[in-house]
Amino acid sequence: MRSKVLGLAAIALLIFAPTFLPVYAMTLLTELVILALFAMSLDLMVGYTKLVSFGHAGAYGLGAYVCGLITLNSTIPLPFAVGLTAIIVCIIAVAIAWSCTMATGVSFAMLTLAFGQLGYAVAIKWVSVTGGSDGLSGISKRIGPFGWAFLTTKAGFYLFALGCLLGAYFLCRALIRAPFGQVLRGIRENEMKVIALGYNTRRYKIAVVALAYMFAGIAGALYASFAGFANPEMLFWTVSGQVLIMVIVGGKGTLIGPMLGAVFFIMVEHKLSEITETWGLFMGIIFIAFVMFAPDGIMGILKKRIFNKEVTTTTFQTLEVPANQGQVK
């Protein structure tokens, strides 16, 4: 009950933030909301399915470019452009997931990295479409349906981004609590036993990769509209490394933890960059400290210190044997 009250209070605070925060703070808060969605999308793979991706920035950058091309070459309102971007990214992600899930472990991670860097190379070389190293510029916050101009304001766009984050979170939470999520946990804990129960684990992995890429694509689309540009750097492997750090520092396998990790990462990065040019060194030390002394991340610390709970995970032991056991293809 205590966690639910705090959650509702946090949501209310975020919704009414435009009424009491200055403009510069709203700009930072909007960026945090978008990156929180990006980090949460990776948690579906890393935290719940143990599929480590080194190329998640590929989906983020792809969403930015697709949404940018849609808004620059059509009059489609922003909400529909983001929705169309999600569909396109999801379709492309199915093909990528089909290829990557042919491997496991480190090989899977390397394949995701390869696809991410392939996207980066395409963005650099396909100048006539992507703008090359300069990227796409002039991407605007398009007026919403029926001439609704609210989305062109900072507060309006922030609330739209927040709505996307909350919608994605509640959808992911429902999926995780459903039998689909139980299978994902089973794959994380012991994939061979899940296969023995009669589940086609590769199909589940393809589905979760497609979902994770779709939500990352939405985050990219929001960022392109927010910043007004999309460039190849959004697809580079260092961005994938940063979002992976956000997930680990925040607490993988919790959905909320990676959001907190995104906020922590950006805020610390901003503060350290103001103090020293070697801020990356200190970020590395902080990351190492979390891995060594707080492996469950920020969310694990909160659960132990505030809610007096241990970080627990549900395994595949609650799975039901499917009707087609022994017929897995």
User: Which of 179-188, 233-242, 299-308 has the lowest average pLDDT?
Assistant: 299-308
- In this model, does residue 308 exceed pLDDT 90? no
Looking at residue 214, what is its pLDDT? 97
Q: Does residue 180 or residue 143 have the better pLDDT?
A: 180
- How far apart CA 313 and CA 321 sit, in angstroms, is 20
- In this model, does residue 91 exceed pLDDT 80? yes
Give the contacts of 173 (CB within 8 A, at least 6 positions apart): 255
- Average pLDDT of 110-122? 95
- Average pLDDT of 138-148? 70
Looking at residue 327, what is its pLDDT? 44
pLDDT band per the 50, 70, 90 thresholds, residue 279: confident
pLDDT band per the 50, 70, 90 thresholds, residue 264: very high
Looking at residue 179, what is its pLDDT? 93
Looking at residue 328, what is its pLDDT? 42
- In this model, does residue 309 exceed pLDDT 90? no
Quote the mean pLDDT of the chain: 89
Q: Confirm whether pTM is higher than 0.75.
A: yes
Looking at residue 326, what is its pLDDT? 44
Looking at residue 249, what is its pLDDT? 94
pLDDT band per the 50, 70, 90 thresholds, residue 166: very high
- Average pLDDT of 38-43? 97
- In this model, does residue 144 exceed pLDDT 50? yes
Q: Does residue 244 or residue 277 have the better pLDDT?
A: 244
